[in-house]
Amino acid sequence: MSLKLEQYLTENLNYLKDNGLYNVIDTVEGANGPEIKIDGQTLINLSSNNYLGLATNEELKEAAISAIKTHGVGAGAVRTINGTLDLHVELENTLAEFKGTEAAVAFQSGFNCNMAAIQAVMNKEDAILSDELNHASIIDGCRLSRAKIIRVNHSDMDDLRAKAKEAVESGLYKKVMYITDGVFSMDGDVAKLPEIVEIAKEFDLITYVDDAHGSGVMGNGAGTVKHFGLEKEIDLQMGTLSKAIGVVGGYVAGSQDLIDYLKVAARPFLFSTSLTPGDTKAINEAVKMLMASTELHDKLWENGDYLKKGLKDLGFDIGNSETPITPCIIGDEKKAQEFSKRLKEEGVYAKSIVFPTVPRGTGRVRNMPTAAHTKEMLDRALEIYGKVGRELGVIK
């Protein structure tokens, strides 16, 4: 190994470990359900993004198996050559119906969506107004576009209006976009989409909502945009297929012209092999389930409200979450990691989240109850939270 590289790696790894920023990756032995097994220990799982429990759903397993039997294990090519299967077309039609748009296009991941769509639509002659707490994939997508990035204070509509006005009236940019998460994954709060739409109309902003944590959770499952009835007002709806949907992949939904353009301009679509047949079929069936019934969505919210109330009653700082995502904000990064470690020892798996995922000094344990958890599981988790919280002085 290069001596320079070895020195660089050693210095940075030591820094991360010394400052409570190093993340130890655990291996789950088996399926990622409401309870998981790590190193032989069975743990109540509060760290999964498998919001609706669909990752282990029997019907989706059968759908994936049937597609593998008829279409094989891989698509065999990029979408623009001969990697577009009838399964992909069917899925994209289902997604468009689900999101209330004219069309949709599927990608290999939610991260890929933001890398693809932002740089396809925006360029160095444009500006992007971006909420300061937007996901890393949004930040990277904005950087790739080479557009001027203007950071907007989190959910601050006065700041958005002022910066939109300044950007538009400067005459420096051909187009201006405002991009935001629909649901912010670390705090659980919801974007102020009705106010955002009004400001966008005033200044002719392109609107882009990353609904990775809103699809399946908000709007009876159809997402944050549909929750507010703004399907006709938001230009680009992006979402992941790996969280509430339970599989893997992502999508962008919008007008037919937008989707037609992304299919010829979005680089991950052009240069990466498409979703596998098994994944595609399972996703399609999962989305149809959400369109047919709100049962899983309702159970998720019931469990989320139950856990949130329990943690708040114990005295934990759970921030201002408006969704089942429930942080326990500790502050100090090392203490947050110690808190997570002790929870695991007692039987709860809830990972610590520290910088750079969240700002320095806001280290936390992020809790995500799912539709698959039972009240008994949540009661046991709350008991352990109380014990560990008092032991470490996080609560009294």
Strands, E assignment, the chain: 35-38, 41-45, 103-107, 127-131, 148-152, 176-181, 206-210, 236-240, 250-254, 326-331, 348-349, 352-353, 363-367
| Active-site option among 243, 297, 308, 351 | 243
**For the CA atoms of 47, 49, 51, 54, what is the dihedral angle to 10 degrees?**
-110
SS3 content of the chain, % helix, strand, coil (to 5): 45, 15, 40
Q: In terms of Cα–Cα distance, which of 203, 395, 210 is closest to 315?
A: 395
pLDDT at 378 over 80: yes
326-331/352-353 β-pairing: unpaired
335 is catalytic: no
Mean per-residue pLDDT of the chain: 95
Please check whether residues 184 and 333 belong to one and the same domain: no
Q: Could you tell me if residue 89 is inside a domain? A: yes
Cα 287 to Cα 90: distance, rounded to the nearest angstrom: 11
Q: Could you tell me if residue 172 is inside a domain? A: yes
Of the listed ranges 145-159, 258-272, 323-337, the least confidently predicted one is 323-337
Using one digit for the tens of pLDDT, what is the confidence trace for 26-73? Answer: 999 999 999 999 999 999 999 999 999 999 999 999 999 999 999 999
Using one digit for the tens of pLDDT, what is the confidence trace for 343-368? Answer: 999 999 999 988 888 888 889 999 99
Please check whether residues 38 and 70 belong to one and the same domain: no
Please check whether residues 75 and 189 belong to one and the same domain: yes
Q: Could you tell me if residue 8 is inside a domain? A: no
Please check whether residues 174 and 275 belong to one and the same domain: yes
Please check whether residues 285 and 332 belong to one and the same domain: no
Question: Can you give the pTM of this predicted structure?
Answer: 0.92
Out of 242, 269, 292, pick the residue that ends a domain: 292
| Active-site option among 130, 185, 242, 321 | 185
41-45/348-349 β-pairing: parallel
The pair of structure tokens assigned to 265 is 């301009």
CATH number at residue 385: 3.90.1150.10
Residue 205 to residues 55, 104, 164, 223, Cα–Cα distance (Å): 37, 21, 8, 21
CATH number at residue 162: 3.40.640.10
Residue 300 to residues 36, 77, 93, Cα–Cα distance (Å): 18, 37, 26
Please check whether residues 281 and 241 belong to one and the same domain: yes
Out of 292, 324, 350, pick the residue that ends a domain: 292
Q: In terms of Cα–Cα distance, which of 348, 356, 346 is closest to 326?
A: 348
Provide DSSP, 29-54.
Answer: -S--SSEEEETTEEEEE-----TTSG
| Active-site option among 71, 135, 163, 213 | 213
Please check whether residues 364 and 350 belong to one and the same domain: yes
Please check whether residues 316 and 355 belong to one and the same domain: yes
**For the CA atoms of 85, 88, 91, 92, what is the dihedral angle to 10 degrees?**
-130
Helix axes 277-292, 295-314, angle to 10 degrees: 80
Q: Residues of the chain with pLDDT > 70: what percent?
A: 100
Please check whether residues 351 and 383 belong to one and the same domain: yes
Find how far residue 35's CA is from the centre of its chain.
21
Cα 216 to Cα 325: distance, rounded to the nearest angstrom: 13
pLDDT at 245 over 90: yes
Please check whether residues 326 and 388 belong to one and the same domain: yes
Q: According to the model, what pLDDT value does residue 357 have?
A: 80
373 is catalytic: no
Please check whether residues 28 and 77 belong to one and the same domain: no
- pLDDT class for 19, splitting at 50, 70, 90? confident
Q: 42 is in which domain, residue-wise? A: 20-49+294-392
Task: Judge whether 271 and 122 are in contact, CB under 8 Å.
Answer: no
185 is catalytic: yes
- pLDDT class for 97, splitting at 50, 70, 90? very high
Q: According to the model, what pLDDT value does residue 297 have?
A: 95
Domain total of the chain: 2
Q: According to the model, what pLDDT value does residue 162 have?
A: 98
Using one digit for the tens of pLDDT, what is the confidence trace for 176-200? Answer: 999 999 999 888 899 999 999 999 9
Q: According to the model, what pLDDT value does residue 354 have?
A: 85
